[in-house]
């Protein structure tokens, strides 16, 4: 009989060991595609837990642990953890703070890796399911598409996953709660590069120049009309210019020849993503032309939107209600405008991405130098992943 609480209760028995493991990973952060120590540690633990197979080196440093249920079954569930850190300097002064200068686990991927290992340990010990669980540890979630690297390295051919789940700690969701929704959880995160080219000259004699700074200023204002005038009001888009480069701060009387700008675009729907890219190109070119300048916008695709499938989102919520109580499973949330590499997996197979609450102290949010994963969350997240796998594979 499937009991959603069994996994969480069982994993509490080795909470202390998992906490030590999490802090060890925290002290030894590794950046995109260089997660060699972490991957070796993951593989070593998976073997120690008695999983059936351990595969390493997938998409450079990715690891997959294969656990077969006590009962035969055709279905397979994937549980994803990310292993990489961020290139930033930790300022927590914790005893287990980063030992690698300039690198830090500021997004809690040390916690995610630990929770997936906790789930693997429980599932390998109990095997109370029919079918296969694939524990997938991916490299390079932070901006470098480690998920796509694993797919390109044959992840789904080698490990045919029918439903894929991942969770991320959420410092804005209270401890003891989780949040999941059907449809978009995270946005597509794309980069824009804009160049406005004019004609340089004397700052005091503008009649002889084509001022790219004035043209670029109008471009910046005009592209804000994409979200307010072009995108359906029921949908959402963010267009942000985040850096501008032009002129010389020591030359206050020289109009420069060009302005370079970079920024980010966030959308949830593929058609909206295309619309924003098209409108950007047109508005940049035409606005610049109105000022005798030449404007070009380049749209560089990053991560697609992370879109949960209905069956898997409701299954995750149902399992969560069994563990945390109905009032502690939030499903009426807005999608988040961050980007997430798990999106590539969800483009290929059904699944759900879940926020696991770790408190409402917002003084040190994700990617803050003072951030630390909350170890109290370990049995919650590990138990949730394991219970989802058991629920998915209970039927056969
Ligand atoms: Zn992050
Ligand atoms: Zn993250």
pLDDT, tens only, 337-393: 999 999 999 999 999 999 999 987 778 999 999 999 999 999 999 999 999 999 999
Give the pLDDT confidence score for residue 207 in this predicted structure.
97
Q: How far is the CA of 108 from the centre of ligand 2 (A)?
A: 6
The verdict on 134 and 254 lying in the same domain is no
Q: How far is the CA of 366 from the centre of ligand 1 (A)?
A: 6
Q: How far is the CA of 32 from the centre of ligand 2 (A)?
A: 12
User: Where does the pLDDT of residue 395 fall: very low under 50, low under 70, confident under 90, or very high at 90 and above?
Assistant: confident
CB count in 10 Å sphere of residue 395: 11
| Average pLDDT of span 15-27 | 98
User: Closest ligand to 80 CA?
Assistant: 2
Local structure of residue 187 (DSSP, 8 states): -
Which residues are 264's β-sheet partners? 191, 240
Q: How far is the CA of 212 from the centre of ligand 1 (A)?
A: 35
pLDDT above 70 (res 95): yes
| Average pLDDT of span 100-115 | 98
| Average pLDDT of span 277-304 | 98
Give the pLDDT confidence score for residue 360 in this predicted structure.
76
Chain-centre distance of CA 236, in angstroms? Answer: 19
| Average pLDDT of span 212-224 | 98
pLDDT above 60 (res 396): no
User: Where does the pLDDT of residue 166 fall: very low under 50, low under 70, confident under 90, or very high at 90 and above?
Assistant: very high
| Closest listed residue to residue 213, CA positions, set 235, 237, 234, 196 | 196
What distance in Å separates the CA atoms of residue 245 and residue 258, rounded to the nearest whole number?
9
Local structure of residue 34 (DSSP, 8 states): -
Q: Which two tokens stand for residue 377?
A: 């969350």
The verdict on 287 and 309 lying in the same domain is no
Which residues are 192's β-sheet partners? 263, 299
What distance in Å separates the CA atoms of residue 183 and residue 171, rounded to the nearest whole number?
22
The verdict on 100 and 86 lying in the same domain is yes
What distance in Å separates the CA atoms of residue 39 and residue 63, rounded to the nearest whole number?
6
Local structure of residue 103 (DSSP, 8 states): -
Give the pLDDT confidence score for residue 362 in this predicted structure.
77
Q: What is residue 213's three-state secondary structure?
A: helix
What distance in Å separates the CA atoms of residue 110 and residue 56, rounded to the nearest whole number?
18
| Average pLDDT of span 273-293 | 98
Give the pLDDT confidence score for residue 1 in this predicted structure.
60
* Domain span holding position 261: 188-303
Q: How far is the CA of 320 from the centre of ligand 1 (A)?
A: 23
The verdict on 8 and 150 lying in the same domain is yes
Least trusted range by pLDDT, from 143-147, 208-212, 362-366: 362-366
| Average pLDDT of span 321-329 | 97
Question: Which residue intervals of 189-269 are DSSP H helices?
Answer: 212-225
Which residues are 255's β-sheet partners? 201
Q: Tell me which of 284, 303, 322 is where a domain ends.
A: 303
pLDDT above 60 (res 28): yes
Q: Tell me which of 241, 268, 303 is where a domain ends.
A: 303
The verdict on 136 and 211 lying in the same domain is no
The verdict on 376 and 253 lying in the same domain is no
Q: How far is the CA of 180 from the centre of ligand 2 (A)?
A: 16
Q: Which two tokens stand for residue 248?
A: 């010389």
| Closest listed residue to residue 108, CA positions, set 292, 390, 372, 289 | 372
Q: Counting every residue, how long is the chain?
A: 396
CATH no. for residue 149? 3.40.630.10
Q: How far is the CA of 346 from the centre of ligand 2 (A)?
A: 16
What distance in Å separates the CA atoms of residue 129 and residue 133, rounded to the nearest whole number?
9
Give the pLDDT confidence score for residue 67 in this predicted structure.
98
Number of domains observed in the structure of the chain: 2
| Average pLDDT of span 256-285 | 98
Give the pLDDT confidence score for residue 361 in this predicted structure.
77
C-alpha R_g of the chain:
24
Q: Tell me which of 303, 323, 348 is where a domain ends.
A: 303
Model confidence pLDDT, tens digit, residues 60-81: 999 999 999 999 999 999 999 9
Number of alpha carbons in the 13 Å side-chain half-sphere of residue 195: 5
Q: What is the mean pLDDT of the chain?
A: 97
User: Closest ligand to 112 CA?
Assistant: 2
The verdict on 271 and 372 lying in the same domain is no
């Amino acid at each position: 009989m499937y009991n959603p609480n069994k996994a969480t209760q069982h994993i509490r028995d080795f909470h202390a060991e998992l906490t030590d493991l999490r802090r060890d990973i925290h002290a030894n952060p590794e950046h995109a595609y260089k997660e060699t120590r972490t991957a070796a540690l993951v593989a070593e633990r998976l073997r120690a837990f008695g999983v059936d197979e351990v595969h390493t080196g997938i998409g450079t440093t990715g690891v997959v642990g294969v656990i077969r249920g006590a009962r035969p079954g055709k279905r397979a569930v994937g549980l994803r953890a990310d292993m990489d850190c961020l290139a930033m300097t930790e300022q927590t002064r914790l005893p287990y703070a980063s030992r690698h200068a300039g690198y830090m686990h500021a997004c809690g991927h040390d916690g995610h890796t630990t929770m997936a290992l906790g789930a693997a340990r429980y599932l390998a010990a109990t095997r109370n399911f029919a079918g296969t669980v694939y524990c997938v540890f991916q490299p390079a979630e932070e901006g470098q598409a480690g998920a796509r690297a694993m797919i390109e390295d044959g992840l789904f051919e080698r490990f045919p996953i029918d439903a894929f789940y991942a969770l991320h700690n959420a410092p804005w969701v209270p401890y003891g709660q989780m949040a999941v929704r059907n449809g978009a959880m995270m946005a597509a995160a794309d980069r824009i590069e804009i160049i406005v080219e004019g004609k340089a000259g004397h700052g005091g004699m503008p009649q002889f120049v084509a001022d790219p700074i004035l043209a670029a200023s109008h471009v910046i204002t005009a592209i804000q009309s994409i979200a307010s005038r072009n995108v359906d009001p029921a949908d959402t888009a963010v267009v942000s210019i985040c850096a501008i480069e032009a002129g010389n701060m020591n030359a206050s009387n020289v109009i420069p020849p060009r302005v370079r700008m970079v920024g980010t675009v966030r959308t949830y729907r593929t058609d909206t993503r295309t619309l924003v890219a098209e409108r950007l190109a047109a508005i940049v070119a035409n606005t610049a032309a109105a000022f005798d300048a030449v404007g070009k916008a380049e749209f560089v695709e990053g991560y697609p939107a992370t879109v949960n499938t209905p069956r898997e989102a409701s299954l995750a919520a149902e399992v969560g209600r069994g563990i945390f109580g109905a009032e502690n499973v939030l499903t009426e949330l807005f999608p988040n405008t961050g980007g997430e590499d798990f999106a590539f997996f969800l483009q290929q197979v059904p699944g759900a991405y879940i926020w696991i609450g770790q408190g409402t102290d917002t003084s040190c949010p994700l990617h803050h130098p003072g951030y630390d994963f909350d170890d109290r969350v370990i049995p919650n997240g590990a138990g949730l992943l394991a219970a989802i796998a058991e629920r998915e594979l209970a039927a056969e």
